[in-house]
Structure 1
């Protein structure tokens, strides 16, 4: 599988980063590049099938997307590697650790999806945090409802940062993405499997995340005996763009844990 990618020239361990649904390697690099900086890693940022500059040459199912990533890893890196992901990318990274643990040295999962079906997610039931008047005025009308539920940092500056990330990178394949998200196989077939992964794992969740929540992520920690879980109060689903310093501090601690294995 030929996935579009960017790779840094580091000499340290490989870390492969998987983006949010419909987002690109450019958006992922904007957030995770600064968080991973200083460790001389070989950082690789992938566009998933149908995302960014990667064509939609697989079936519109999450298993096919995961298989495409695994095939790319088999061909392009020396396993095992560090895997980092956000949202859907983190969902896939956890799936790879279940299905192909030989490929994975450690996991950094940020606002990970645990179950795909929205009615199966445990979401916060408290009202959102206060926001200044007009904080969403610069957002396209089609995105305002989503951002209202997704963001914990409810400011025009954060809105502009997230919109810039959403607009960065290649165009993707909207038809493929719609089929993937609405199809019966959006969920991985082993989504609920209890499979233990014993490498170092860091899970970051946003307390104000009304897209995937934060409670299911804590319950999933039973599968990660070397896992660290943190929920960040003043953050939502776009935590990497809302709280970059928090992401960096936890990413650096995660990397330190890899080196002392």
Structure 2
């Protein structure tokens, strides 16, 4: 399968992979503020926002995460046909796939950024934090679509009406694709065959986690640092599974730090 993508900027390639079921517009909304023209130290990156199989303009295919991983590897090969490595970032499921790519083709990955990314894909295998302390503000979900309210009640750590409305708008705009494919992928082929591999990745890497992420958690990521000799780890208070939208200024700083580490190796 050939993945659809959209490119912003020029320079070194950075491939970005979105949350499960969302298309590239969600990643564009999350990451483009990191590259505002005023932030000159972050210039020189060609951002390649991909639609994973069955989302956006990318067709489905074999409903397994192994096949999704293979499709991303083909995208990397087409983005840099000379074989030069690319930086790779992913949110949630996109981060899970990105980590698989780094295990399978470490020479093609110049750096790895995993945002709210699970280490284990099966919900029953994840180490999750307790529910956020205290009740949320009254009516904070009144302005979101009813079919998304339960998800946001679990996924968001910064529980305000403004954050909920923003994430609702981002998700609504990004829910495009092949629902039948996604419905077959989740129960049948979600787990990468090498999920438990002890293989290490030695490039500049960072886990960015939300302290109140009840979807992916933050503890499994810290335990996985042993697989990343040059790995960094940050857990952000008052943030959940949509960290880039819940704490945008902190997110921009953390991504900027990772980009700086990559730039020093150029």
Task: Please give the residue correspondences for 1:92-171 in structure 2 after superposition, counting only pairs within 5 Å.
Answer: 92-169=97-174, 171=176
Aligned length: 258
Whether the 8 Å CA contact 2:239–2:246 is kept in 1: the answer is: yes
Q: CA RMSD in A?
A: 1.3
| Aligned residue in 2 for 1:251 | 255
Whether the 8 Å CA contact 1:16–1:44 is kept in 2: the answer is: yes
Return 5+ residue gaps in structure 1 as ranges. none
| Aligned residue in 2 for 1:64 | 67
| Aligned residue in 2 for 1:34 | 33
| Equivalent position to 1:241, from 223, 242, 245 | 245
Q: 1:235 to 1:226 in 2, by over 3 A?
A: same
Q: 1:169 to 1:125 in 2, by over 3 A?
A: closer
CA distance in 1 between partners of 2:2 and 2:191 (Å):
23
CA distance in 1 between partners of 2:147 and 2:46 (Å):
37
The secondary structure found in structure 2 opposite 1:178 is helix
The secondary structure found in structure 2 opposite 1:44 is strand
Deviation of 1:72 (Å): 1.6
| Aligned residue in 1 for 2:9 | 9
TM score, norm. by length of structure 2: 0.93
TM score, norm. by length of structure 1: 0.95
| Aligned residue in 2 for 1:25 | 24
| Equivalent position to 1:214, from 212, 218, 233 | 218
Deviation digits for residues 107-162 of structure 1, max 9, x if unmatched? 11100111011010000124445421110112222222211111011011111111
The secondary structure found in structure 2 opposite 1:134 is coil
The secondary structure found in structure 2 opposite 1:216 is helix
Whether the 8 Å CA contact 1:128–1:208 is kept in 2: the answer is: no
| Aligned residue in 1 for 2:199 | 195
Q: 1:255 to 1:13 in 2, by over 3 A?
A: same
Moved over 3 A (4+): 126-130
Deviation of 1:20 (Å): 0.4
Return 5+ residue gaps in structure 2 as ranges. 37-41
The secondary structure found in structure 2 opposite 1:16 is strand
